[in-house]
Amino acid sequence: MTHRIVLLPGDGIGPEVVDAALTVLRAAAARFDLLFAFDVYPVGAAALRAGLPPLPPETERAALASDAVFLGAVGSPEFDKSPRSERPETGLLQLRRSLGVYANLRPAKVWPGLGVRGPFVPDHVRGLDLLIVRELLGGLYFGEPRSFDWGEGTAVNTLRYSRDEVQRVARVAFGLARSRGRRLTSVDKANVLETSLLWRHVVDDVAAEFPDVEHDHMLVDACAMSLVLEPRRFDVLLTENLFGDILSDEAGALVGSLGLLPSASLGDGPALYEPVHGSAPALAGRDVANPVGAMASAAMLLRHTLGHHEAADAVEAAIGAQIESGGVTMDLAAPGVEPLGCQAFAAAVAEKVGSGLR
């Protein structure tokens, strides 16, 4: 059976990290006898520069007909002032909506052996392993009406959620909590927002279907603080679109680099896999990007689309072994240690996948 994967390298470091993920996916295919067919399509600024819309119709058609979509990153400063319909990010949002991927899984864990850099001392975050489940198709990102009127000096976005939208993502999150630490924290702003009141009620209803999962509610401001102060108290965090966007970058800082975070976006059709980081224009074309987010997204593809847990575990184990060896990219290298380039790091991980090193 051939798994048809649509590749959307996109912008900035997107193409480099997609290449790296492919190197690792090919190694997994060789070791576990998997067949992939990869097709590359434009999205984002790469499409706009070719005179196409940010999500070209052929790209959308191919994505919908695929078994899974793998995306690098979208975004480019040259389109910062363009109208919304001609922005790279619009292509990604249309793709998410078109695929109907409402549940965005963003696991964040501290890899053993990684001397965490930045403000978080290793003792504070060691063993941290959390999963953010972000609602991906509702809230301020998609709510209507929306408008921007420079002349009048007003702009509008609409925060709207329906019971069904909350229910379906909550069920995914509770289901995943069941396979982990069985603790779920739902994040909202129920002291101010009606949408959050609805969110809270629906989450309580869904919780009744999962009596084996402990759950509580937290206001998003308190949660942002708590993530910094005592990150290991959390297991699964369930939240709406914008809060999830913000908290997942915070989680990236906690684990040492945003470049480490993978994601899977699930719905009823083909799933979408992408690293959480953006296009990072300043790093593009220099072979310095951290491909772990993309490679771990490939592991999620093996797990969630193929149901091949052994292959997914092998990729994650190889990433872990490589990180533990100390050979890491610029963002993670200890002071005085020569960092590996993006492609060299990928080759090292691929070799570990191939040799079954754990």
Catalytically annotated residues: 141, 189, 221, 245, 249
Contact between 248 and 133 under an 8 Å Cβ cutoff? The reply is: no
Residue type, 179: S
- The two structure tokens encoding residue 179: 């396979």
Whether 21 and 298 have beta carbons less than 8 Å apart is answered as: yes
Q: Are strands 129-135 and 103-109 parallel, antiparallel or unpaired?
A: antiparallel
Shortest Å distance, C-beta 6 to Mn ion: 22
Per CB under 6 A, does 135 bind ligand IPM? no
Closer residue to Mn ion (CB): 67 or 245: 245
Report the nearest approach of Mn ion to the CB of residue 258 (Å): 9
Largest CA distance in the chain: 64
Q: Which of residues 283-342 bind ligand IPM (CB under 6 A)?
A: none
User: Given the complex with ligand IPM, which of 187 and 276 has the nearer CB atom?
Assistant: 276
Among 14, 75, 256, 270, indicate the residue that binds ligand IPM (CB under 6 A): 75
The tokens for 298 are 């490939």
Give least dist CB 63 to ligand IPM, A. 16
* 67 forms part of the interface with ligand IPM (CB under 6 A): no
Cβ-closest position to ligand IPM: 89
Pairwise CA distance, residues 346 & 336, whole Å: 22
Q: Does 188 bind Mn ion (CB under 5 A)?
A: no
The answer to the question of residue 276 lying near ligand IPM (CB under 6 A) is yes
Question: What residue spans of the chain are helical by DSSP H?
Answer: 14-32, 45-49, 57-64, 88-99, 122-125, 163-178, 194-207, 220-229, 241-254, 292-304, 309-324, 342-355
Smallest gap from Cβ 278 to Mn ion, in A, equals 7
Report the Cα 316 to chain-centroid distance in Å.
Answer: 16
- What is the smallest separation between the CB atom of 33 and ligand IPM, expressed in angstroms? 33
Q: Which of 135, 165, 245, 331 binds Mn ion (CB under 5 A)?
A: 245
**Euclidean distance between CA atoms 46 and 53, whole angstroms:** 10
Give me the 85-114 binding string for ligand IPM, x by CB under 6 A, dash otherwise: ----x--xx---------------------
Cα(first)–Cα(last) distance of the chain, in Å?
Answer: 27
Nearer to ligand IPM, 88 or 270 (CB): 88
Nearer to ligand IPM, 72 or 75 (CB): 75
Going by the DSSP 8-state scheme, the letter that residue 213 receives in this structure is: S
Cis peptide before 119 (omega within 30 of 0): no
Cα separation, 133 vs 173, in Å, equals: 6
Report the sign of the C-alpha dihedral through residues 346, 350, 351, 353, in that order: positive
Measure the CA–CA gap between 184 and 211, rounded to whole angstroms: 12
AA identity, residue 133: V
> Among residues 186 and 263, whose Cβ is nearest to ligand IPM?
263
Residue 75 partner contact from ligand IPM, Mn ion, none using kind-dependent CB cut-offs of 5 to 8 Å? ligand IPM
Nearer Cβ to ligand IPM (97/232): 97
Q: Which of 245, 272, 288, 332 binds ligand IPM (CB under 6 A)?
A: 245
Q: How far is the CB of 219 from ligand IPM (least distance, A)?
A: 21
Residues within the interface to ligand IPM (CB under 6 A): 74-75, 89, 92-93, 245, 276, 278
Residues within the interface to Mn ion (CB under 5 A): 245
